[in-house]
Amino acid sequence: MMTGTVCDMRPEVAEHIWSIWSWTTELLVFLVVPLAILALNIRVIAATQRVAENMQKLLDDRAERRALHLHNDTHKHPFNGPLSGTTRVSRYLKGKTNLDFTEARDSE
């Protein structure tokens, strides 16, 4: 048994370990991380487009239902349309005023 000797690595082994460490860290920093970021960005863009398409479909469906609802309501109930309050007020005021518009309609 040897006493008083220092356990040292051979220079070739130290260079080899340093080379492996350098390649590993550089590949990680300059290849794996950017590729992971690129993959995540692609997934975010795809999800954003999917959400935008779904929102557009929902808005189109909503507008279509609203148009159909208003169309059906105005034909079934003429005083329940989007301007029902205005219609009631204008009919009320027309009955309460002394204006006669029959001559204006006949002259056209």
Query: What is the 3 state secondary structure string of 36-71?
Result: HHHHHHHHHHHHHHHHHHHHHHHHHHHHHHHHHHHH
Q: Comparing C-alpha atoms, which of 100, 73, 72 is closest to residue 87?
A: 73
- Angstrom distance (rounded) from CA 28 to CA 20: 12
Contact, 55 vs 61, CB < 8 A?
no
- pLDDT tens, residue by residue, 38-71: 999 999 999 999 999 999 999 888 888 877 766 6
- 6-37 per-position pLDDT tens digit: 778 888 888 999 999 999 999 999 999 999 99
Give me the pLDDT at residue 83, please: 53
Confidence band, pLDDT 50/70/90 cuts, at residue 80: low
- Count of all residues that appear for the chain in the document: 108
Q: Is residue 92 over pLDDT 70? A: no
SS3 30: helix
Between these two residues, 55 and 88, which has the higher pLDDT value? 55
